[in-house]
Structure 1
Amino acid sequence: MNVISLRAFNDNYIWLIGNGHKAAVVDPGDAAPVLAALAERELELVAILITHHHQDHTGGVSQLLAAYPDAQVFAPAGERMPAPAAIAVQEGSRVLLPELALDLTVLEVPGHTLGHIAYYGNDLLFCGDTLFSGGCGRLFEGTPEQMHHSLSRLAALPDHTRVYCAHEYTQSNLAFCHAVEPDNSRLLTYMKEVAKCRQQDVPTLPSSIEREKAINVFLRVAQPDVRAAAEMFALRELNEEHAVFAALRRWKDDF
């Protein structure tokens, strides 16, 4: 089983999961790169996995179903369905794709949107716009408390879990992390690696849970240096982790 990044729009990634015969895609905002990749690799699309309702994650569903009408669509139960026959999934639901030997569990991770979900299994995490490398999604619908809880759940997954985020935001996210935590040696090393990738136009993803816990300030709100930086920005004492997160998110929004 291979996971391949397909670029869409300015910075989206659509993830194609294939085994040489069958394939699934995650968050196909645009059908064109998916159809091209399926044709090039002679793959049959059997499933479409949706993490949330935003158009840049769902816009290609109807065109893909027109080409592959037997493909199953899985989408969050708490959000509007991207297709009439979509299968609504929620916390604890299992997405079993025997054609790909794939067994994924649904995690509810509200914050970016209220019904946002992630798919986890086979040491893979497809997290949509909840977690980015070095960052997290904007709070369009949820609260800081919700997003902090969601990120904490993802951070508790095994360290070796590969993290497939939906956008190439890594370099700008790391610039913010450096502003918050300038003495993080692991972060400084990673920034150099990412700069080289971007110079070569190579994706910086997937990341890993272990890496994100070491460099992503939104997962490091309990660290004294991160809390101190957030307090300097907020101009007040922050006694709870979700308050530290909220200050960091406001800071990042205008960074």
Structure 2
Amino acid sequence: MNQDSLVRLRKLNFDELIHIDTDDVANYTYETYASNQEHKIKADGIGGCNKCETSNCVTSQSHSLRFMSHGAHTIDYFSGSQTDFTGWSDAPILFILESPGSDGKIYADANKFSKMPTKQWYWVHDNKRFIDVSLEMNTKRKKYGEFFVSIMNHFKLSNVYVTNLVKCGLAVGKKNEYNIYKYDESVVANCFKEYLDKELEIIKPQAVFAFGGRVYNAFRNKYGKDYPADEKLFCMPHPSPRFMSQVGYRKQALTHLLIGLSKSEIITDVEKENHFRLLNLQ
């Protein structure tokens, strides 16, 4: 990814979406975050985007938008690792999931903000480095970040961006909801307009891998004209811990991934067959 595109993503994620307390958001990096041990959120009482609330997109009194995520790029995972990306594919790829999880440990104090922005670098939690862990181990350990970075590392993909369809988690009463179809349609439409549309315009992905059937269907319904199914848009099995622990998840996920990389011409058919053989997927 060129520097201009990376700067645009930084501003989108850490100025418009989550309000990071920095004088130089264009150069806000994982190293800056790690030196602080967490995101420093502006003391504005909000914490991040409230465009849905101010535009009255949330129509039900029992519904509220709470947890806030942001996107992450290959560069964020490998930051500080001295990785040499020579020979890696620079094809732009989007990994997209549904909505933020509700692990309270990674979010800012609800008493300080009207929302709860993540205080950890989303998708790359706990300042951990995953690149020395094998692909096999990463599918077994049932961690999203480890799974994604193992794919980047194993298949030498230097330009992957990971994000959610909707950036804020939904609470219905006291219950957290993750299903995009539980959100008000106006919230989803507004979040797409304010963030996902812009992410797609910046990244211009050659392939989109949607994790889970709901994500795949929602993305296809909105963006299918520009990202045709089985040409640029591919459905991946959801990497939740309960699914990752099932026998056959690794084979299913990597098979779908390799087929998508091949159909989108990121790898050749010969490379695909070699990976199938080396990973014992046949």
TM range (shorter): 0.3 to 0.5
Which one has the bigger strand percentage? 1
Which one has the bigger helix percentage? 2
The structure with higher relative contact order (CA 8 Å, sep 6+) is 2
What TM-score do the two structures reach when normalised by structure 2?
0.30
